[in-house]
Every structure is written in C-alpha cells, then in structure tokens.
C-alpha cells in the first residue's frame, strides 16, 4: 500500500488555462481515485500534435482550463473500489480509447470504439461527472480520459492497461497513441495484404508507423509522401520503397496522377496521416478503381469537411477512418509491447527529442521545427 493512498496529492502539472496560450507549470491537487478509477504516477509523456491542436483552439471538443496529455506511461499509485485488472505498482499506459468489454460497441466485434466513458470523457470529467484536479481554487478539466501532463492523474479503469515492467516506459508510452494508431491502421483497420501497393500521406510518428505496418504485411510498394524532404530518410528506414514530395512534382502532374502511374492504375490502400482535408481527397482519388481503400487517420481542424465527386465511390473506391488503429487497448496493447520487446516493432527510433515537465513548452517548439518525431517528457526530471 502506498503512503499516499486515500489522500489528496499535491504535485506539478502543465495547465492549459486558455486556447492559444502556452501551458503553465503549476502546483495542483489530485484527489484519490473513486470507485472504478485508478490514480497513476505519471513518469513519461510523449508529446503528440493532438495536444498542440487542442491548445491552439482547433479541437472542436477542446475546453479550458484543462490538463492535456494522452500519450503517457506510469505506475499505479492507488486504485478505487472495484478495480481488479490493475494493481498498485503495475506499469501502465493510459488509453484515450477506452475498452469496457461490456458495451454494445465492445461486444460487437466490429470496432475498438467503446461507449462506456465516451460522453463524460468528451466533457472532460470522470464517469461520475466530477473532476479530480484543482489549481488555485479552480477545478481543472480532464482530457481524452488521460490528462497525462500531470505528475499524478486519475483515469477510469476502462482507460488504462497494465504492461510488462520489462518495457522501458519512456518508449512504451508512445504506444499510447501515435505508434499504435499508425501500425494498427495498416494491420487491423486496412488489413494490408502481401503484394498490395500502398501510399502514406504525412510522415510523422503516425505515418511512419503506418509504413512499418505495411512493411510487416509485405506490401509491394510503400510510397511515402511528405512536403518535408527530411522525412525521406525516416520513411525509408521504416520500410518505404519510394518517397515523393508533393510540392516537387513533374510539370503539369498532380500527386494523384503520379501515384496512379506508379502503381499501374492506383493504390490498393492509401492513408491520410496529415489531418488536411485536401490531402484526404488526394488519398481517396489515388486509390485503384474497383477496390482501393483510403483510410483517414488525420484529425482535421474544427469545421473542416471532406469532398470528392461521388463517382469516385460509385466506381469502387472506399473511404474509411481509423481511431487508435482499430486497437482494443486493454486486450491488445500488451501484445504490441511484446512485439516491441521482441524487436518486431521499432519504437525507440521515434524518440528524437527529450525535455522535462518544467520545459514542456520547449518540447512543443521542437514539434513545430519539422525534425521532431516524438519528444519525450520526463515528468520528474
């Protein structure tokens, strides 16, 4: 039993007070976990663009003040009543896509989306409708059911999974979002098959993990596309067979023309990992007539809409989306950690930058720089 069990903990957190303003490091209080909840000592976070996106005010569900962060890893400090799957001392990864195993979605066998905590998670509160964080007399909202930019956080028992303590948490935390999302999108949602021709738009952590997924499935062509030439080496190191910078195409050609020519009629699978709705259209239209499938992974800014001519769909191209790579976190994430430890899934290379909680804003600057795949924040440095 930890000596903090049942007590309010005072610790440091990065608080986002309002959209468009940098986060500030504050002393906050974290209440004990209630029934069905888990309090986690957060050790590491990987910074993901989705946190920046919310901070900038582009997230349609974003509200303030809030503790952001959803790609983290830590150790269970205490658990509330009715928590059996994780125990004090377990190494855990919080899950922004919960898994209750009991709701209509979980039981459908058709999706990894779960409805158990969906409504309250979207409102930034715990499943009982209340919050666990306070700062300067104000309650702070939770974020994506995780709020890992705090040295301690409280999550629902459905939003956390225990992993082996053999996996270094400063790397395994990346499986809490970007890596699992991309790898799962290729291997589960799209279910890429041997010999497929594939194209991946956007080569951040998510796109590079799609590349890895296509490679593991023995895709024939893995065409990596990014406006940043520095991503070519990255993509090839993960298994890409080709790289195209769409701003440097032959005169009069579009990226769709180039991809259709390169793949003898279009791709079997394309993936949007940019969040740009114009790119999403290109990705669909670069699919092979009759069977090509385009998977949208990128999250577009509030109010954006996708467009294409319906004839693109009438003639057999399909549009689909993928959240957290179609992966059921509590059931399947430990297997991905095993793959990582067995050397089947590259994770370490994605950590290009490191910082501390006090200097988390530096991490956000690295992310804007174009050379940062993931910046890992040591929450206790």
Residue numbers annotated as active site: 48-50, 70-71, 100, 103, 106, 114, 118, 177, 374
Q: Does 159 bind ligand DAO (CB under 6 A)?
A: no
Q: Is there binding between residue 106 and Zn ion (CB under 5 A)?
A: yes
* Cα 354 from Cα 370, distance rounded (Å): 15
**What is the closest distance, in whole angstroms, from the C-beta atom of residue 6 to ligand NAD in the complex?**
35
For ligand DAO, which residue of 31, 40, 73, 96 counts as binding (CB under 6 A)? 96
Nearest CB to ligand DAO, comparing residues 48 and 140: 48
| Contacts to ligand NAD from residues 311-340, by CB under 6 A | 322-324
Tell me how far apart the alpha carbons of residues 344 and 349 are, in angstroms, rounded to a whole number: 13
Environment class of 212 (CB within 10 Å of its CB; exposed 0-12, middle 13-18, buried 19+)? buried
The partner in contact with residue 226, picked from ligand NAD, Zn ion, ligand DAO, none with C-beta cut-offs of 5 to 8 angstroms by kind, is ligand NAD
Which of 215, 216, 213, 236 has its CA nearest to residue 226?
Answer: 236
The count of residues interacting with ligand NAD (CB under 6 A) is 31
Angle, CA 153 vertex, CA 115 and CA 337 arms, to 5°: 70
Round to whole Å and give the CA distance between 260 and 244: 13
To the nearest 10 degrees (0 to 180), the angle between helices 205-216 and 231-238 is: 30
Among 50, 55, 67, 52, which residue's Cα sits nearest to residue 18?
55
Residue number, 34 or 111, with CB nearest to ligand NAD: 111
Closest residue to ligand DAO in the complex (CB): 323
- Asked if residue 163 binds ligand DAO (CB under 6 A), the reply is no
Going by the DSSP 8-state scheme, the letter that residue 201 receives in this structure is E
For the window 166-205, what string marks contact with ligand DAO as x by the rule CB under 6 A?
A: -----------x----------------------------
What is the number of other CB atoms lying within 10 angstroms of the CB of residue 119? 11
Q: Where on the chain is the footprint of ligand DAO (CB under 6 A)?
A: 48, 50, 70, 96-97, 113, 118, 177, 299, 323
Q: Where on the chain is the footprint of ligand NAD (CB under 6 A)?
A: 48-50, 53, 177-178, 181, 201-207, 225-228, 231, 246, 273-276, 279, 297-299, 322-324
């Amino acid at each position: 039993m930890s000596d903090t069990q049942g007590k309010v903990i005072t610790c440091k957190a990065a608080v986002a007070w309002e959209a468009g303003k940098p986060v500030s490091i504050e002393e906050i209080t974290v209440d004990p976990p209630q029934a069905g909840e888990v309090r986690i000592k957060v050790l590491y976070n990987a910074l993901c663009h989705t946190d920046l996106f919310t901070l900038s005010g582009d997230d349609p569900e974003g509200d303030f003040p809030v503790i952001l962060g959803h790609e983290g890893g830590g150790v269970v400090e205490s658990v509330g009543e009715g928590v059996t799957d994780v125990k004090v001392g377990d190494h855990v990864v919080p899950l922004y896509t919960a898994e209750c195993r009991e709701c209509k979605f979980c039981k459908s066998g058709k999706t990894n989306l779960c409805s158990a905590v969906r409504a309250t998670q979207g409102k930034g509160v715990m499943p009982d409708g209340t919050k666990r964080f306070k700062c300067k007399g104000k309650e702070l909202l939770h974020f994506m059911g995780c709020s890992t930019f705090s040295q301690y956080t409280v999550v629902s028992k459905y939003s956390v999974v225990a992993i082996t303590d053999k996996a270094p948490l400063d790397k395994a935390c990346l499986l809490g979002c970007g890596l699992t999302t991309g790898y799962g999108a290729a291997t589960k949602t799209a279910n890429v098959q041997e010999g497929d021709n594939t194209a991946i738009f956007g080569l951040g952590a998510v796109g590079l993990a799609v590349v890895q997924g296509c490679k593991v499935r023995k895709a024939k062509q893995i065409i990596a596309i990014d406006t940043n030439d520095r991503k070519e080496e990255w993509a090839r190191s993960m298994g890409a067979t080709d790289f195209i910078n769409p701003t440097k195409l032959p005169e009069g050609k579009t990226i769709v023309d180039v991809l259709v020519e390169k793949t003898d009629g279009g791709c079997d699978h394309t993936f949007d990992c940019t969040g740009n709705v114009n790119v999403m259209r290109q990705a669909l239209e670069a699919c092979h007539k009759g069977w090509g499938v385009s998977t949208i992974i990128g999250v577009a800014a509030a109010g954006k809409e996708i467009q294409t001519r319906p004839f693109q769909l009438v003639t057999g191209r399909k549009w689909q989306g993928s959240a957290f790579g179609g992966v059921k976190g509590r059931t399947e994430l430990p297997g991905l950690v095993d793959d990582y430890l067995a050397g089947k899934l590259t994770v370490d290379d994605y950590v290009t930058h490191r910082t501390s909680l006090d200097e988390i804003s530096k991490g956000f600057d690295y992310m804007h720089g174009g050379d940062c795949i993931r910046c890992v924040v040591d929450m206790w440095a």
